[in-house]
Structure 1
């Protein structure tokens, strides 16, 4: 499939029923969450796709550039979602995981024919001068590393801002899976763009939430850091028809069976 600007977007289609587009988070490809996809495919036609710069999808922007060109990069990813909705028959539900939730939220707010929206732990931060400064510094450094072709260092930088200890990052860099991490590292610039690290410090897009009028479920894990739940509550409060639900005992690495049950209950309503 080709997006509006001609970029190739790779996707897989599973199951049958109402169309549901799964928007993956940072470093995820269309093959990253097969268990959840299979569970959802029992009730829905699930579209899993590689976001720009990942897997088999293209990326016309220079490495790192999306982080500095937030509006253009985010608009391109929204166009990718629009193309998938067209492939799905003209309307669809969206489920966004982590930063994919930020993209799903933006796509819905833009007026695409989305019928229901579900988000799990979009990583919007609490607003503070220190947060805004740190987010902009991260986006600047990420752009520099990717522009220099230092994909491994860019991936390590991303892991560090998630709170991963330096020694753990060093151990992961010696694993066989590190090559896959380096391969998707350029797409981290798109995550920085859709979260608006430069212009908004990665905080909740309060000003655009009112444009989301479809039923919206913002999920968070009961054992996750508090900012995930805070962001989910702000989303639920800001959209026209929103609900915040906490999945007891869950973290950002959510159990697919627990998550699928909540999604099926909401999306199948």
Structure 2
């Protein structure tokens, strides 16, 4: 376990896997578990490291061991990613998962040595009425201190069993406060438009979906790839919003130029 302090004083805890000096994969999770509860990402990082790369798997702010010094918002999350990329001191690949894709897209413009970006099943263009309207509704519930309603509004359109599982978590309903960067990022990306957000990104972009996925995900991946200067959309082994670790590690290695 490693840790760093961002310029604003947030403590970010992360697992550092692989060799110093190697191209570093920085995983940006969505509104999901802590790193300790995410065996898929851990297995992916280990497999990428075994192929000659390096992986940073961090707890998001307010999650697990990462302690915020102030409000958990998009600016704080982007600063945390920037601090991780500087700590790597190598070319980095940003890997966004779900709503983490929108955060990765916004972080890319601040990443000085970006070797590539991978977006796994970005939930963009899928909200009824658009992400800005959806996020305004969630934000209103948070501001009214009705966190249970905020969680329900955030989860609209997702499988109902996901919400029921969340209700069993000891972090429920305060968990929604850690999703503020996700909501702000999704809203910002849709409001600005994919081409504008990606306009400064010259590194390769891979928009990936699983072999079994939700409606609309493939169309979004195609649109994201078309909006980048060097973009591709691909299918990768995985199901229902989760990738297969070995398949992802192999694809990351090829992107990093590590595969033979």
Q: TM-score range by the shorter chain?
A: 0.7 to 0.9
- The structure richer in strand per residue is 2
What is the 5 A alignment of 1:16-165? Answer: 16=19, 17-31=22-36, 32=38, 33-43=41-51, 44-62=53-71, 66=73, 73=74, 75-126=75-126, 130-132=128-130, 135-147=131-143, 149-159=145-155, 161-165=156-160
Which of residues 169, 172, 186 is equivalent to 2:177? Answer: 186
Where does residue 9 of structure 1 map in the other structure?
A: 12
Distance 1:14 1:183 in 2: 31
Q: What CA deviation, in whole Å up to 9, does each residue of 1:141-176 have, x standing for no partner?
A: 4334434555444334333x24223xx36743564x
Q: Call closer, same or farther: CA 1:163–1:19 in 2, change over 3 Å.
A: closer
How far did residue 98 of structure 1 move?
A: 1.4
Which of residues 162, 172, 182 is equivalent to 2:165? Answer: 172
Q: Could you state the TM-score of these two structures normalised by the residue count of structure 2?
A: 0.81
Q: Could you state the TM-score of these two structures normalised by the residue count of structure 1?
A: 0.79
How far did residue 113 of structure 1 move?
A: 1.8
Q: Call closer, same or farther: CA 1:78–1:143 in 2, change over 3 Å.
A: same
- What SS does the aligned partner of 1:196 have? helix
Comparing 42-51 with 109-118, which one deviates more in the overlay?
109-118
The question of whether the paired residues in 2 share the 8 Å contact of 1:27 and 1:184 is answered with no
- In the alignment, structure 1 segments of 5+ residues that lack a partner are 67-72
The question of whether the paired residues in 1 share the 8 Å contact of 2:124 and 2:186 is answered with yes
Q: What CA deviation, in whole Å up to 9, does each residue of 1:9-29 have, x standing for no partner?
A: 221211224222111111232
Distance 1:239 1:115 in 2: 14
Where does residue 69 of structure 1 map in the other structure?
A: none
Q: Call closer, same or farther: CA 1:239–1:173 in 2, change over 3 Å.
A: closer
Q: Call closer, same or farther: CA 1:196–1:61 in 2, change over 3 Å.
A: farther
How far did residue 97 of structure 1 move?
A: 1.3
Distance 1:169 1:95 in 2: 23
Distance 1:2 1:103 in 2: 20
Q: Call closer, same or farther: CA 1:206–1:232 in 2, change over 3 Å.
A: same
How far did residue 219 of structure 1 move?
A: 0.8
Measured on the aligned residues, the alpha-carbon RMSD in Å equals: 2.8
Q: What CA deviation, in whole Å up to 9, does each residue of 1:202-228 have, x standing for no partner?
A: x85222223110122111123212422
Q: Call closer, same or farther: CA 1:51–1:181 in 2, change over 3 Å.
A: same
Q: Call closer, same or farther: CA 1:180–1:34 in 2, change over 3 Å.
A: farther
The question of whether the paired residues in 2 share the 8 Å contact of 1:102 and 1:195 is answered with yes
